A and B are shown apart, each in its own frame.
Chain A
Amino acid sequence: MRTRIKNWLQISVPIPGEFFTKVTSEPVPHHLKRWWFALGGTPAYLFIIQVVTGILLTFYYVPEPGHAYTSVQRITYEIPFGWIIRSIHKWSANLMIVAVILHVMRVFFTGAYRKPRELNWMVGCGILACTLFFGFTGYSLIYEQLSYWGATVAANITQNVPLMGDFLARFLRGGDSVEENTLTRFYIFHIALLPLAITLLLVLHITLIRLLGVTEFEFEEDKGKQAKHFPFFPNHFLMEMIIGMSLTLLLTFLVVFFPARLGPPADPFLTPEHIKPEWYFYFTFRWLKLTSLQVGVLGTGIAGMILVFWPFIDRQLTRRFPNRDLSVWLGVIGFLTLMVLTIWEAIV
């Protein structure tokens, strides 16, 4: 029976078995045995969790201003297992952002974005941007008071983007204020456009990794060792599985002890005393409060551009100041600034 199925499959899908062996036995550099060098697979794993729980949530979510909040309320308090699915969706989104940031940090500080991997760094920045926009649109869909006003403030901030601010804000809102069209647009972004964009970017990211290979690092303790590489399957695959299972454990802990809750429903006529975005936008929010709106928006845009084009900036810096590790120290300053701004926004 097994042989018959195998034969039938070989006739139906005429790809030789050696192809799969070749694809899965890619040699992986020895340094990837350290689990924190293997964090790149984590966002992909969390993204799959997001897709599955997201599809389940769409069965009950209603993207209309009059029903959005009550549908989330139903999911949280009435639908069997609704609270678990919503909480997994929420926490895996947060963990995905953390994982992407940690992965970006690892790539940045080891200089793994350097030639010939500049384009892949830029693709990675696209994935980071999509992840953040995912978080923003998803939070806005809840249509509670804070998420509604968060979306309103974000759209107003967008309006201050030089040259195309008005267009961008109207495109985002679908009108002059956050209303019915906005929710439909955010919903389409969240369940269709962003998943498509991030899937394409992930495919491109992984394809480029396979084509260019993983950056080779050699730690002092690895020097002199005979084996410089180990096979992707099963060694690296199993390690990714262990990371995945540890994450599942963490996710379960967060879901059980800190389940997703609901604030009061959105009221367009009542501005809350404190408007705050989600934690991953705290740094921008604090930066905007410290400067004027125009300077704040421009500064954030410039910082984003610097991040995207960092491999090319780094090349110039290394040429002018060789052996000084300027990139590393600038990265430390940038990272600490983001962290200080984030904590500052949280404590006030």
Chain B
Amino acid sequence: MMSLEKKHRLIGILATLFVLSLLVVAWFESHH
């Protein structure tokens, strides 16, 4: 079983990716 610490790190990585993807979307939106 994955430890709470590892799950915690995974959430951090996914949340960062999510926010970065929003910035990418916003950038493309403003340049279209």
Spell out A's residues near B (CB within 8 Å): 36, 98, 101-102, 105-106, 109-110, 217-220, 274, 279, 282, 323, 325, 328, 332, 335-336, 339, 342-343, 346-347
Contact = CB atoms under 8 A, between A and B. Distances in A.
10 contacts: A98-B19, A218-B4, A219-B5, A220-B4, A325-B2, A335-B14, A335-B18, A342-B21, A342-B25, A347-B28
Given A98-B22, A279-B22, A109 B11 contact: yes
Interface of A is mostly: helix
A217 B1 contact: no
Nearest to A348: B28
B10 to A, nearest CB: 6
Nearest to A345: B25
A219 B8 contact: yes
Contacts of B28: 346-347
A346 B24 contact: yes
Contacts of B25: 279, 282, 342-343, 346
A339 B17 contact: yes
Contact of B10 (A282, A332, A339, A347): A332
A36 B1 CA distance: 23
Contacts of B5: 219-220
Contacts of B7: 109-110, 328
B4 A279 contact: no
B7 to A, nearest CB: 5
Given A36-B11, A336-B17, A339-B17, 9 more contacts: A36-B12, A102-B18, A105-B18, A106-B11, A109-B14, A274-B32, A279-B29, A282-B25, A343-B25
Given A109-B10, A110-B11, A101 B24 contact: no
B32 to A, nearest CB: 8
Contacts of A220: 3-5
A149 B25 CA distance: 20
Contacts of B21: 339, 342-343
Nearest to A282: B25
A51 B21 CA distance: 28
A341 to B, nearest CB: 10
